[in-house]
Amino acid sequence: MDMSQYLGMFIEEARDHIQSLNDNMLKLEENPEDLQLVNEIFRSAHTLKGMAGTMGFVNMQKLTHAMENVLAAARDGKLKVNPNIMDILFKTVDALEAYLDVIVATGTEGQEANSHLVNALNAILGKPAEDMAVSSTSKAGKKYEYDEFVVRAIERAWTQGFNVYKFDVELDQNCLLKSARAYLVFRAVEEFGEIIHSKPSVQDIEDEKFDFEFSITVISKQPLEKIRERILSISEIREVKALEIKSGEVGRAEEKEEIEEVQQETQVQETVKVVRQQKQEPVQKTSKTVRVDIERLDVLMNLVSELIIIKSRIEGLAKKYNDRQYEESIEYLERITTSLHDAVMKVRMVPVERVFSRFPRMMRDLARELGKEFELVMSGEDTEVDRTIVDELGDPLIHLLRNAADHGIEDPEERVKNGKPRSGLIKLSAYHDGNNVVIEVEDDGKGIDLEKVKQKAIEKGLLKEDQIDLSDQEIIDFLFMPSFSTKDKVTNLSGRGVGLDVVKTKIEQLGGMVEVKTQKGKGTKFIIRLPLTLAIIQALLVTVHDEIYAIPVASIREIVDVAKEDIKVVQKGKEIIMLRNQVIPIKHLHSIVGLEPVLDKKKFTVVIVRRGEKLTGIIVDRLLGQQDIVIKSLGKYLEGIRLISGATILGDGAVAMILDPNMLTV
Amino acid sequence: MEQYLIFRLADEHYGLSVNHIENIEKLMPITRVPHTKEYVKGVINLRGEIVPVIDLCEKIGVEKEEFGEETRILIVNWKGEFKVGLIIDEVLDVVYLSKEDFDQATRDRNEFKFSIAKYNGLLINIINLEDVLFEKAEEV
């Protein structure tokens, strides 16, 4: 049977299990006595083992099996978890993740057997290294292991003069309906004797939970060869290995019994769960979920975008007719498209937890690696953002968190000396702020040494020595320049600056921005502000000459009319206006987009845009109004035009450029 | 044998392998994109898709003609990565050219190198799409 169709499901589910292994192991590390957690971990490992086995990933199966044994011992109180054991378990989880990565890339688990880990796990239980082969899967071994019940049946059979045979049946690779084939084998064998054991279990065989092989143990008075031939006479059987089990070759497999017990246990729990779910169903409908391929959602999103474009087009046409019914229908259409848009957006929203969840583990490793002490506190994991954004957030956040750990947090001794608690604190939080989502990475470390940054900027020739009147913010901006590092020795983790320019570029690509607040000796805070969605935004359409531009409404503070005489020219020809006692620099959109400004007007329309706390006024010719626009990329050929964040198609089919507000501010 | 689209730029004949060409469109409104190269005329709305358009005459340095009735935009697809529209003066023909039709000689025009093919007594400059779409390193 072709397993590839299950591969996607396997990968998704294995990811979930590995994540929960990581999560629970981190918790266990803090509460080593918590048996509940050990149980959880055991269950994940056990399921993972079963899944890997079903998919034919033997190495992965062996590793999880060894892990499961250790966990079983811990659960039964035969073993106490200690940091050493935890380390090995964490490494095992890493190895499992590596398997999964290989599986994602190639569809096979690869060659890595991870025998050192299997040995290490076995060593915890005091098993010798060569015992690593899973006893129940060994076929060539002279000793046959069964559980107590089967062993007794076998012994009884011998005393009654029966023979005991074991048949390893291998089905043809092209065999469809494996379970039906197996059933035929069972029925054929039962003509001659009694099947007292099968591996996998009859239940699993019926559910097709086996590869192409299964083995059965039979008691019979008939000769071995006769039964073997009968099995081979069934079509699509590739090979039957028949063995007679002689007395003295049978052993009791204690460990296996245990696993069976666990299986029963989990089965019971599963039925309990099902029952409970059925009970809750009328109350809690939200628990019904479906996994959907993101590509299908993208298609849906595109269709909604098209609908919004055609809607604005029809709205434009409607103005020509003055028909009431026509207008009403259009209003109705407008309501439906808006709701549809909202609904599709919501489907695409996922909690930032998706990215956050891997950080506790990363920070734990980082603390060990750096020899520092700090705690990671996360909040707002349930804040939802568009899936496309969440997917891109991982890398920038890793940079910032590493940055905080490596450069922000001081060594424990230094902290104590400065009157701080020995252990540092790194906070990662997310929250909604209007149409934005804000993500903050904050540490209570030593803060950014602005003087040092300035020195470095001079050294690199980015700053002249006499330029001393720089604001703190302007100095901090140097950190975001490519290959700017304040660390004298760049570690393999990060050099402050080496990653920061990447962070900034990435966030700006996503239509967001990064701010830094720092206080010497108190700590540093990186604030990332991102739009909730990338695809459809509210924009203000403006004109300069005969060109139409869209400015995202989210970045507009207000719109004012300014008389010509109120525009003042300050140092080096910079134009400013005063708005409620605040100085606001202004720019002509004409010049920004490379056109001649119109200067001989009495009144100018100024759109005030903000970037963080900075305000800039943009002079435009005329306002066309506000509308939902669909953001379309300019494509790979035109990428890298910093001023333009995309294009949109207007109601009449014309194209308008969307201005990147981050580039508008001075 | 490969199929080529033969078209006119000013008073010269040019050819481009049809494998690259997705569509031939009539001239449509082009929206200027600020801060781009002179030969990038802007973008068009190709049935909901935003496609950049470049003026082939300007790009390869042929004398420019006013856009007219016969002006067309060849929509080319670069390896499935992006689409670009090439503005040309007139589409003439689609022909099969075999190796024998190609002359040994090549022709240089500015930084571009054209292969020369002979067809019905005409000399055709065969365009290498990669040269047209990407800036040469020394230009940067």
Assign B140 a pLDDT band (cuts: 50, 70, 90): very low
B17: distance to nearest CA of chain A, Å?
Answer: 20
| A22, A24, A68, A590: the active-site residue | A68
Structure tokens at A401: 């968190």
The question of ipTM being above 0.95 is answered as no
pLDDT grade for A604, boundaries at 50, 70 and 90: very high
Pure H helices in A319-386: 324-348, 353-356, 359-370
Smallest CA–CA distance from A635 into chain B, residue: B82
Residue B54 distance to chain A (closest CA, Å): 11
* Single-letter amino acid, residue A643: L
Mean pLDDT computed over A62-79: 87
Token output for A265: 């246990």
User: β-strand B12-17 against B122-126: which pairing, if any?
Assistant: parallel
Q: Check whether B25 has a pLDDT greater than 90.
A: yes
Whether A497 shows a pLDDT value over 50: the answer reads no
- What is the end-to-end Cα distance of chain B in Å, rounded? 37
Lowest-pLDDT range, A192-206, A284-298, A503-517? A284-298
Average pLDDT score over residue span A582-606: 90
Assess whether pLDDT exceeds 60 at residue A229. yes
What is the reported pLDDT for A288?
Answer: 66
Which residues are within 8 A (CB) of B38 and not within 5 positions of it... i.e. 6 or more apart?
Answer: B58
User: Token pair of B132, please?
Assistant: 């047209």
Q: Write the class of the CATH domain A3-140.
A: mainly alpha
CB contact under 8 A, B50 and A641: no
Inter-chain residue contact B33 with A641, CB threshold 8 Å = yes
Spot the catalytic one: A59, A163, A403, A436. Answer: A403
Domain boundary assignment for chain A? 3-140, 144-252, 256-287, 294-351, 353-531, 536-664
A15: confidence class by pLDDT, cuts 50, 70, 90: confident
* Residues B13 and B124: beta-carbon distance below 8 Å: yes
DSSP string for residues in A478-546: HTTSTT----SS--SS--TTTTHHHHHHHHHHTT-EEEEEEETTTEEEEEEEEES-SSEEEEEEEEETT
| Angle, helices A500-509/A387-403, rounded to nearest 10 degrees | 160
Query: What fold, for A144-252?
Result: Alpha-Beta Plaits (3.30.70)
**Catalytic residue list contains A403:** yes
Mean pLDDT of A528-544: 84
User: Cα dist. A152→A55, A262, A550, B56 in Å?
Assistant: 33, 22, 82, 88
pLDDT, position A259: 41
Mutate which of B25, B28, B31, B49 to test chain A, going by most A C-beta atoms within 10 A? B31
Mind listing the pLDDT tens digit for each residue in A254-294? 444 344 444 444 444 433 333 333 333 344 444 467 777 77
The domain defined by A294-351 carries CATH number 3.90.1150.10: no
| Helix (H) / strand (E) containing A19 | helix A4-30
Q: Note the pLDDT of residue A143.
A: 62
pLDDT for residue A603 is more than 50: yes
Report chain A residues whose CB lies below 8 A from the CB of B51.
635
What residues in B contact A594, CB-CB < 8 Å? Answer: 34-35
Measured between beta carbons, the chain A residues lying within 8 angstroms of B34 are 592-594, 641, 643-644, 657
Q: Which of A238, A231, A130, A235 is nearest to A187 (CA)?
A: A231
**Average of per-residue pLDDT across B29-50:** 91
Q: Give strand pairing partners of A566.
A: none
The tokens describing A542, both together, are: 């403006």
> Is the CB of residue A125 less than 8 Å from the CB of residue A70?
yes
pLDDT > 70 in chain A, percent: 87
Closest residue in B to A589 (Cα) is: B34
- Tell me the pairing of strands B21-26 and B40-46: unpaired
CA-to-CA distance for A415 and A124, rounded, in angstroms? Answer: 37
The per-residue pLDDT for A253 is 59
* Binary contact (A643, B34; C-beta < 8 A): yes
pLDDT at A485: 57
Helix (H), strand (E), coil (C) string for A22-38: HHHHHHHHHCCCCHHHH
Span A511-538, mean pLDDT? 85
Out of A45-49, A333-337, A485-489, A558-562, least confident range: A485-489
Q: How far apart are CA A23 and CA B53, in angstroms?
A: 51
Judged by CB atoms closer than 8 Å, whether chains meet at B50 and A649 is answered as yes
Token pair recorded at residue A307? 């609908």
Active-site annotation holds for A46: yes
> Mind listing the pLDDT tens digit for each residue in A400-446?
998 888 888 888 888 999 888 888 999 999 998 877 889 999 999 88
The pLDDT of residue A284: 40
Note whether B81 contacts A: Cβ–Cβ < 8 A. Answer: yes
Which residue is catalytic, options A46, A399, A588, A590?
A46
Q: Using CA atoms, how far apart are residues A456 and A462, in angstroms rounded to an integer?
A: 9
pLDDT at B139: 42
- Arithmetic mean of pLDDT, A523-546: 86
**Cα–Cα distance, A119 to A69 (Å, whole number):** 12
Q: Homologous superfamily of A353-531 in CATH?
A: Histidine kinase-like ATPase, C-terminal domain (3.30.565.10)
pLDDT at B137: 45
For residue A207, pLDDT over 50 is answered with: yes
Q: Which CATH class is domain B2-129?
A: mainly beta
Q: Are A243 and A166 in contact (CB under 8 A)?
A: yes
Strand bridging mode A568-570 / A574-579: antiparallel
Of A633, A637, A641, the CB nearest to B35: A641
Q: Give the pLDDT band (50/70/90) at residue A623.
A: very high
- Per the CB < 8 A criterion, the answer to whether B53 and B38 are in contact is no
Which residue from A minimizes the CA distance to B50? A634
pLDDT in tens, A345-389: 888 888 898 889 889 988 888 888 888 888 999 999 999 888 888
Q: Which residue has the higher pLDDT, A378 or A302?
A: A378
| H/E run at residue A296 | helix A294-318
- The model's pLDDT over B83-99, given as tens digits with 9 standing for 90+, comes to 999 999 999 989 998 88
Residues 6+ apart with CB under 8 A from A182: A169, A171, A205, A210, A214
Average confidence score pLDDT of chain A:
80
| Residue B93 CB contacts under 8 Å (≥ 6 apart), including other chains | B5, B6
Smallest Cβ distance to A643: which of B35, B49, B82? B35
Q: Is the pLDDT of residue A662 over 50?
A: yes
Over residues A51-59, mean pLDDT: 85
Find the closest chain B residue to A590 by CA distance.
B34
Q: Predicted confidence band at A666 (pLDDT cuts at 50, 70, 90)? A: low
Among the partner-chain residues B31, B83, B84, the one whose CB lies closest to the CB of A654 is: B31
* Residue A89 predicted with pLDDT over 50: yes
The residue that leads in pLDDT, A47 or B113, is A47
Give the three-state DSSP class for A236: coil
Taking the domains of chain B in order of start, what are their residue ranges? 2-129
Q: Determine the CATH number of domain A536-664.
A: 2.40.50.180
Alpha-helix runs per DSSP H in A349-449: 353-356, 359-370, 387-403, 412-417
Q: What is the pLDDT of residue B27?
A: 92
